[in-house]
Homo-oligomer: A and B are copies of this chain.
């Protein structure tokens, strides 16, 4: 009998992608259980992270005897640490009757990191590792970055003209890209755990920074505001847009606990006088500590330029239209003072698509 391992793992990958941006600090995982090449059940990481995908998949098999001799396909190594019911996913699988398992990525979390596989193998389950790993890694950019680098995976969204400008010289930017692009950028927001902007962008544009796509509103990310002197008053839209997500402000000021009346708003004090590098790394480490895997930045060219020259941008999402604004417009990236082609940063193309006349280019930093 010919088994469709590819098909089933791809199904698990699709399930994982569906959970992206809503699993809190937990990675989004997809899991499929198959017997004699027929689907028994499937599961994905629950909103907020628990129960895990494997537990969901096992629990949705009514007659547990059916699990005997079945095959599990899962996008990430099953955890070796205890879940809410006191058992790790690896143990749950071990005692389920499942006889073999295809795993795409190995979990870098030190509580698991190979220990899940050890438990499975000790229990005589046949384990296939790194299966279709290349198709799956993108999903875990954020989780891996948080665990291994202690910072979120940082994406920067830019909407620009054909000549790379984000506004006219009088700051006008409505609209350089079309409504299809702008809609898709809301989808991108929904796929990130947090969205970061600055007080200057808020004061200039008064953005809502939520996901306003019908049906995906509750996937709006946590808002992060770099507001060194707490200039953004609470009447700006970002403080009032729905849904009522967490808001983090980073400032030089310590504020009374009741300054932010809404409990979901929290201010984190940052030491004054840090270098740009230290300032941003402090913030990114703090965000990782708070469980943010994927951070989207939507701000102006000043912060874009600083982060880019520090090599802190992992991914660029560039929406580009066919409009030509001219060099007196506002640049997507400011002066970098580069004198040799060898010092130029390079971003590798990872995705390209059109929205009517606009082009979306997604590129990853080529370290």
Give chain A's interface residues, CB within 8 Å of chain B.
161-165, 168-170, 172, 174-176, 301, 305, 308, 316, 318, 321-329, 331-341, 344-349, 352, 354, 357-359, 361, 363, 366
Collect the chain B residues with CB atoms within 8 Å of residue A357's CB. 346, 348-349
Partner of A322, one of B170, B324, B326, B347: B347
Collect the chain B residues with CB atoms within 8 Å of residue A165's CB. 164
Give the 7 A-B residue pairs with the shortest CB-CB distance, closest first.
A326-B336, A164-B164, A327-B331, A322-B347, A328-B335, A163-B164, A323-B344
Partner of A339, one of B168, B340, B345: B168
Partner of A337, one of B175, B328, B352: B328
Q: How far, in angstroms, from A172 to B327 measured CA to CA in the complex?
A: 19
Supposing A324-B308, A324-B344 touch, asked if A363 and B331 sit within 8 A by C-beta, the answer is no
- Indicate if the CB atoms of A338 and B352 lie closer than 8 Å: no
Number of copies: 2
Collect the chain B residues with CB atoms within 8 Å of residue A349's CB. 322, 354, 357-359
Collect the chain B residues with CB atoms within 8 Å of residue A338's CB. 168-169, 325-326, 328-329
Q: How far, in angstroms, from A354 to B335 measured CA to CA in the complex?
A: 27
Supposing A162-B316, A162-B318 touch, asked if A336 and B325 sit within 8 A by C-beta, the answer is yes
Partner of A327, one of B170, B335, B339: B335
Q: How far, in angstroms, from A29 to B331 measured CA to CA in the complex?
A: 45
Partner of A352, one of B162, B334, B352: B352
- Indicate if the CB atoms of A334 and B327 lie closer than 8 Å: yes
- Indicate if the CB atoms of B327 and A345 lie closer than 8 Å: no
- Indicate if the CB atoms of A163 and B331 lie closer than 8 Å: yes
Supposing A162-B316, A162-B363 touch, asked if A348 and B325 sit within 8 A by C-beta, the answer is no
Nearest chain B CB to A300 CB, angstrom units: 13
Which B residue's beta carbon lies closest to that of A331?
B327
Collect the chain B residues with CB atoms within 8 Å of residue A336's CB. 324-329
Which B residue's beta carbon lies closest to that of A345?
B324
Collect the chain B residues with CB atoms within 8 Å of residue A318's CB. 162
